[in-house]
Amino acid sequence: MPQYDYDLITIGAGSGGVRASRVAAGQFGARVAVVENSRVGGTCVMRGCVPKKLLVYGAHFAEEAEDATGYGWTVDGVRHDWSALIENKNRELRRLEGVYHRLLRDAGVAVLEGRGRVVDAHTVEVDGKIHTAEHILIATGGWPTLPDIPGIEHAITSNEALDLPARPDRVVVVGGGYIAVEFAGIFNAFGSRVTEIIRAGQILRGFDEDVRDTLAAEMEKKGIRIRRECKVRSIEKQPDGSLSLLNDCDEEMVADAVMYATGRAPNTKNLGLEDVGVTLDQRGAVIVDQGNRSSVASISAIGDVTDRVNLTPVAIKEGMAFALSTFGKAPTVMDYANIPSAVFSQPPVGTVGLTEAQARAQEPVDVYLSRFRPMKYTLSGRDEKTMMKLIVSRETDRVLGAHMVGVDAAEIIQGIGIAIKAGATKADFDATVGIHPTAAEEFVTMRDPVPDPSFEHTE
């Protein structure tokens, strides 16, 4: 008789947890159960990347309709039905959830519905029922955080923003990260008057400076107001249902919705991890080694709950590495170098490798920069610029980073990411024949580096 009920219990049925569980069960024959107290599919599929991208697609039709006139189309009577968009989005999410359930079922993974809590190194309680396993995997992801200010109960997060029954006419988005700029672009494109409030001097902290400046300028051209170095002190609901914001921007702000996108925290509250000896950091993230193992040998963690690189494809690869290492007897370590990523802002951002500041901090570099209006807008007259940038090691000629703001940035950077991951040099880029006419060809036709920044030295 087996010592445990399962070989693996995974808490959290998001992208990483599902991948680890499916591979462990379907490929290696492990007895696996997944615990989930919400919808199978997790943040990305149910309340993150997928529904957000569907809204981004929908938002782009506003500009497409405007641009169509430059190509000879007559567009009359265009209007948008927000409730139809949300219902269609929800229908697609229901379909995807069914797909995820089937994938788990076909792999032989049991789904335990309810709130999971770790009781000891080999025991998980799910809504009062005890289950045991040789291995426990924590894959509970992250959750939006809200500041402790008066009236914060009137604010929403990205979770609620995806399911608003009606589009608010006036929206204040608080935060300058990728979620904030993405939703600012969505609401703005659909016709809301959007103000984005950030505490810093510029959006997208941690991104390349040219990316930050270019995107902010393009957002402002589209009508989004960015209030920099500003902080909300309180939110008060008015008799007419609107929201009044007290801030230190020396400006009165009234909105129909206030969305906070000021950060996410690892979802470890009430999981019982600390009680069984699992070490968490100050933010509540599970501290793991390169093999995803926590301080308790039988308990591992992957994805956003570890607060390493919080991207869905990373969680999936970590899940695969865990399954291969634990059940496939093939120790596998995730490589976190040169991970491509995108921001589905308007215009979008694609990036891979080092920023210019990071690269200059480690070695002398050459920087190649190009700005241009995409060919798509030559007939429509839209005033939107694309920015492309390469950072190259002066000693080795290796391309250390690539960054883009503009149409199709995410699609283009995916291919550039392969080249950079493979160690391509600027000479390799130069030797590559461009596809003409495309924006992507600019990455292989930039020949002259920009002048090095000058520094004034004072005695």
For residue 303, give the DSSP letter.
Answer: G
The answer to whether the bond into 347 is cis (omega within 30° of 0) is: yes
All residues at 6 or more sequence positions from 394 whose CB lies less than 8 Å from its CB, including other chains: 363, 364, 365, 366
Q: What is the CA radius of gyration of the chain?
A: 24
All residues at 6 or more sequence positions from 459 whose CB lies less than 8 Å from its CB, including other chains: none
Exposed e or buried b per residue across 252-277, where buried means at least 16 C-beta atoms within 10 angstroms of its C-beta? ebebbbbbbbbebbbbbeebbbeebe
The answer to whether the bond into 144 is cis (omega within 30° of 0) is: no
DSSP 54-99: HHHHHHHHHHHHHHHGGGT----S----HHHHHHHHHHHHHHHHHH
Residue 18 tokens read as: 């599902």
Calpha distance 277→272 (Å, rounded): 9
Q: 305: phi > 0 → left, psi -120 to 50 → alpha, else beta; which?
A: alpha
Calpha distance 364→113 (Å, rounded): 54
Q: How far is CA 106 from CA 6, 27, 102, in A?
A: 17, 11, 6
Residue 17: phi and psi, rounded to 5, are -65, -40
Q: Tell me, what amino acid is at 214?
A: T
Kindly name the residue from 131, 154, 436, 457 that is annotated as catalytic. Answer: 436
**50 within 8 A of 39, measured Cβ to Cβ:** no
Tell me, yes or no, if 457 is annotated catalytic.
Answer: no
Cα within 13 Å of Cα(88), Cβ side:
10
Residues designated catalytic:
436
